[in-house]
Chain A
Amino acid sequence: MAPTRRDFLKLSTAGGVAASILGFDLAPAYAEMRALKIARASETRSTCPYCSVSCGVIIYTQGDGAKNVTPFVVHVEGDPDHPINRGTLCPKGSSLQQDILNERRLLKPQVRRPGSDRWDDIAWDDAINEIGRWVKKSRDATFVEKDAQGHTVNRCEGIAWTGGCTDTNEFNYLVVKTMRSMGLCYIENQARV
């Protein structure tokens, strides 16, 4: 029996179906790449606020700073150029994004009055004025001009200052200037570097 044209077409179709089932896939051998979520994010250098080691971190923010955009943090990781941690972070530092985007984060000044059992909201201006008033009062009450031997000392023993690991050099310079000018001796910082 000589194969007719019709038979040839049938055979070709069957062969093609078989080939496609059994795997002659001409799709290119590429796989989709996962998108880098910080590719065009804005980088902000900062310092981890948790412990005294003061690791440098980079905060990645969505948006390029255009006028209509409220930027939001998409990722935080270690700053490889920071001499203290060189990009590494501990588990607390690694979770800093949760610290920034947190509904329980404190965003306003609060005051707890003597004898009170709760924190009350206070306006920034009121807070600063009140701090100024208390500083003045404490300093006036505890300023020592001369010690027991009659040496001039001009020191204020009733106030202490402590700084945090996120304070910058410039901030610390101003702190020391201000505090020394009031005669403070007890100046400390949490950072240990």
Chain B
Amino acid sequence: MSQATLRVQKISGHAGPIPGEGMQREDQVCKLVDTTTCIGCKACEIACQEWNDLPFAQTTFDNTYQTMPTTQWNFWNLIKFNEQPKEDGTMMWLMRKDQCMHCADPGCLAACPSDGAIVQYTNGIVDFQQDRCIGCGYCITGCPFNIPKFNPTTKKVYKCTLCSDRVSQGLEPACIKACPTGCLHFGTKDDMKDLAEKRARQLREHYGFENAGVYDPPGVGGTGVIYVLHDATNPEAYGGLPANPSIPWAVRLWKTPLRWLGNLAMLGGLVGVTLHYLRFGPKTVHNGESEKRS
């Protein structure tokens, strides 16, 4: 790996301030997935596999075109196919590119106990540093989108990196580049939100999708991957996109109040022991052989 570095703004398992945080301004990068123009060709799946040199994952067949039920440690980008009945009895075929959402407030990073195993760069990309990963799998429980996947051989967890190698060198992510229908877009978060809102308005005003909207869930602080949906009131229909994702309360409780209470208890114990030692000296054994001091 290169010794060159990227500035980070969040570090997992890291107590205290993050040195250098907020010292440089940088645009947040964002992927926009327009599910209304996705044709389910899976070019993004293959581009991801090819760019990341991932070993091929076994595909499964479950009566849809979907490659496999969920993403895997060696399959980071999955098109989910869903048939949704409409009110008039016809069907709508919904396709959604499922991958890491690169949350502004990542549940995986909050849950991770290993210092620096999960970082968020200043451009918003959430990246796993496998050399620091201890394989505990807490990130899997912390993720509201079911994205990080454990590799039983290496005992590490893997997921989409938003092509941080390409983005840091001025390229776009591999999946975005491949998309032949132009349903995937890449740019700054502001630009992508503009584009998404424009497209949603177009869908509402000209295409009869009254509930069309943008999926950028505030429960995780917004995401680095946003969707344009035909029906933003029912994201669950798009292969289980959570309507209001948030970091699990257990992770929140454990990582903020409980953690500090635990730290305080430990510190208090140490201080107490030290003060006791200074005030009373070492423990003396009365009924026996060895009496150290006094």
Mark B81-124 against chain A: 1 for CB-CB distance below 8 A, else 0: 00000000000000000000000000000000001100101000
B178 touches A29 (CB 8 A): no
The distance in angstroms between the C-alpha atoms of A17 and B274, with both chains bound, is: 12
A88–B19 touching, CB < 8 Å: no
A11–B46 CB distance below 8 A = no
Q: Which residue of B lies closest to A85 (CB)?
A: B180
Q: How far is the CA of A91 from the CA of B15 in the complex (A)?
A: 44
Kindly state the separation between the CA atoms of A33 and B180 in the bound complex, as whole angstroms.
29
Residues of B within 8 A of A5 (CB): none
Stretch at the interface among B68-76, B141-149, B158-166: B158-166
> Could you tell me the distance in whole angstroms from the C-beta of A58 to the nearest C-beta in chain B?
11
Q: Is the CB of A77 within 8 A of B168?
A: no
Known contacts A22-B15, A89-B180, A95-B50: A11-B274 contact under CB 8 Å: yes
Known contacts A34-B164, A90-B43; is A7 also within 8 Å of B278 by CB? yes
Contact of A14 among B21, B121, B127, B270 (CB under 8 A): B270
**Number of residues from A at the complex interface, CB < 8 A:** 42
Cα–Cα, bound, A31→B122 (Å)? 11
Closest residue of B by beta carbon distance from A3: B278
Residues of chain A in range 17-36 having any CB-CB distance to chain B below 8 Å = 17-18, 21-36
Q: B260 — nearest CB in chain A belongs to which residue? A: A22
Contacts of A1 in B (CB 8 A): 278-279
- Assess A33 versus B4: contact at CB under 8 Å? Given A11-B274, A23-B15, A77-B177: yes
Cβ 8 A contact of A78, one of B49, B178, B273: B178
A134 to B204, CA, bound (A): 64
CB-CB under 8 A from B3, the residues of chain A are: 32
Identify B50's interface contact among A32, A33, A90, A97, CB under 8 A: A97
**Residue B6, interface by CB 8 Å:** yes
Q: Is the CB of B11 within 8 A of A29?
A: yes
Whether A29 touches B180, Cβ cut-off 8 Å, given contacts A3-B278, A34-B165, A94-B43, is no
Q: Is A148 an interface residue (CB 8 A)?
A: no
B14, CB-defined interface residue at 8 Å: yes
Q: Does B41 contact A (CB under 8 A)?
A: yes
Does residue B237 face the partner (Cβ distance < 8 Å to A)? no
Residue B195 CB within 8 A of the other chain:
no
Distance, CA A37 to CA B174, complexed state (A): 13
By a CB distance below 8 angstroms, the chain A residues around B178 are: 77-78, 88-89, 94
Tell me, in angstroms, the Cα distance from A33 to B7 when the chains sit together. Answer: 10
Q: Does B43 contact A88, Cβ atoms closer than 8 Å?
A: yes
The answer to whether the Cβ of B129 comes within 8 Å of any Cβ in the partner chain is yes
In the complex, what's the smallest C-beta–C-beta distance from B66 to chain A, in angstroms? 14
Q: Are B277 and A29 in contact (CB under 8 A)?
A: no
B6: chain A residues within 8 A (beta carbon)? 30-31, 33
* CB-based nearest B residue for A14: B274
**In the bound complex, CA of A11 to CA of B6 (Å):** 39
When distances are taken between beta carbons in the complex, the residues of chain B under 8 Å from A69 are none
* Cβ B21 vs Cβ A29 within 8 A: yes
Q: Which residues of A contact B140 (CB under 8 A)?
A: none
Q: Does B290 contact A (CB under 8 A)?
A: no
Is B46's CB under 8 angstroms from A32's CB?
no
Known: A18-B270, A94-B50. A33 touches B19 (CB 8 A): no
- The 0/1 profile, CB within 8 Å of B marked 1, for residues 27-52 of chain A is 11111111111010000000000000
8 A-B pairs whose Cβ atoms sit less than 8 Å apart in the complex: A28-B20, A33-B164, A35-B165, A36-B168, A37-B53, A76-B50, A88-B43, A88-B177
Query: Which residues on B are within 8 Å of A, measured CB to CB?
Result: 1-8, 11, 14-16, 18-21, 41-43, 45-47, 49-51, 53, 115-116, 119, 121, 127, 129, 131, 161, 164-166, 168-169, 171, 174, 177-180, 182, 263, 266-267, 270-271, 273-274, 277-279
